[in-house]
A and B are shown apart, each in its own frame.
Chain A
Amino acid sequence: MKNNWPLWEVFVRSKNGLEHRHFGSLHAADAEMALENARDVYTRRNEGVSIWVVESKHITASNPENNGELFEPAQDKVYRHPTFYSLPDEVKHM
């Protein structure tokens, strides 16, 4: 039965105020089942407060072959990092 089910990507928000993070993937027949499966597979140890699921086919990924032109030009542009500001202690999760 699993062979007939499409693949879904699972994103979990581990606590309020944090962003959803990619946790993994699973098989499910539809969105509702994907949510339940995600709850059972990825949040059974109290990992989350919110789940997103999206069918994997809806994700468009960059091609690793293009990494040279996509990402390498940024490597020597250190001035683009906001490292010259001092952050107040109250700002977390930056």
Chain B
Amino acid sequence: MKNENIIQYIYGIADNALILGQRLSELCGHGPSLETDIALTNMALDLLGQTRSYYQYAAQLSGDGKTEDDIAFLRIERQYKNVLLVEQPNRHFGYVIARQFFYDVFHLFLLQELQHSKDEILSAIAKKAIKEVSYHQRFSSDWIKRLGDGTKESHQKIQEAVDDLWGFTDELFHMTEDDLLAFNSGIGVDLSKIKDAYYQKIKEVLEEATITPPETKWFQKGGKQGIHSEHMGYLLADLQYMQRTYPNMKW
């Protein structure tokens, strides 16, 4: 497997962490309470920390003098390979929690497989991240249950968020050519293997939360090919502003 393909495989994982981390960072100082504000920001930092490890490795593999910052801040929209789910906006707290929950459950299954990767660095990153993501999943699952089984208004809002975001879950399991190459080389994860367990877990938690799983059979896709939703441009404008306006600026 060529380095270029491994780099693309890494982007497919790391960009999810970067973009979800960016979405959560937007809530810094705007969380519904001091306690949830800090919790969401902690998760954002966990995700950005993971992103750095992946990008540092990708930069090293590229061998063309690129740094982790170039990868994070200076690609164009089509070069980001995150799924559409993680770029969806923070419409209200229910959306933040539903998006987090749908991603966390996937993320943990993914890392549990990735830790057995033949690539020692990816395996090490996964092992370290598993503890962080276990907590993320615990946090978002608890909140799904609280909102679903809470007041009439909280139930209605979280059900709305689950209904709206459900259509983005199937893309998590799409295998790009680089995903297939990585899997066949023993580096990457077979996503079809974790799909059943994913929906099983999701449905268990939703049931406990008295939320009805949507019956939609139509799913959105595109992010993994770099074809993003209308929200992505605005997100990148925020994310990249500093490096675009003041090239090579350092803190």
Listed in ascending order, the chain A residues whose CB lies under 8 Å from chain B are 1-2, 5, 26-29, 32-33, 36-37, 39-41, 44
B240 at the interface (CB under 8 A from A): no
Q: By the criterion CB–CB under 8 Å, are A36 and B38 in contact?
A: no
B178 at the interface (CB under 8 A from A): no
Q: Number of contact residues on B: which range applies?
A: 10 to 19
Give complex CA distance A26, B33 in Å.
10
Give complex CA distance A33, B36 in Å.
10
Instruction: Given A40-B42, A44-B42, decide whether A29 and B35 contact each other with a Cβ distance below 8 A.
Output: no
> Could you say which residues of chain A place their CB within 8 Å of the CB of B42?
40, 44
Give complex CA distance A78, B139 in Å.
51
**Would you mind naming 13 contact pairs between A and B with Cβ atoms under 8 Å apart?**
A5-B33, A26-B35, A27-B34, A28-B35, A29-B146, A36-B138, A36-B139, A37-B35, A37-B36, A40-B42, A41-B38, A44-B38, A44-B42
Give complex CA distance A44, B139 in Å.
15
> Could you say which residues of chain B place their CB within 8 Å of the CB of A1?
32-33
B39 at the interface (CB under 8 A from A): yes
Contacts beyond the supplied A29-B146, A36-B138: 10 A-B pairs with Cβ under 8 Å: A1-B32, A1-B33, A2-B34, A5-B33, A26-B35, A27-B33, A27-B34, A33-B146, A36-B142, A40-B42
Give complex CA distance A37, B38 in Å.
8
> Could you say which residues of chain A place their CB within 8 Å of the CB of B34?
2, 26-27, 41
> Distance (Å) between the CB of A42 and the closest chain B CB?
10
> Could you say which residues of chain A place their CB within 8 Å of the CB of B135?
39
Q: By the criterion CB–CB under 8 Å, are B32 and A40 in contact?
A: no
Contacting A at CB under 8 A, from B115-157, are: 135, 138-139, 142, 146
Q: By the criterion CB–CB under 8 Å, are B146 and A36 in contact?
A: no
Identity of the chain B residue whose Cβ is nearest the Cβ of A37 in the assembled complex: B35
> Could you say which residues of chain B place their CB within 8 Å of the CB of A39?
135
> Could you say which residues of chain B place their CB within 8 Å of the CB of A32?
142
> Could you say which residues of chain B place their CB within 8 Å of the CB of A5?
33
> Distance (Å) between the CB of A46 and the closest chain B CB?
13
Identity of the chain A residue whose Cβ is nearest the Cβ of B35 in the assembled complex: A37
> Distance (Å) between the CB of A7 and the closest chain B CB?
11
Identity of the chain B residue whose Cβ is nearest the Cβ of A8 in the assembled complex: B35
> Distance (Å) between the CB of B134 and the closest chain A CB?
13
Q: Which of A5, A29, A33, A40 has the most CB of B within 10 A?
A: A40
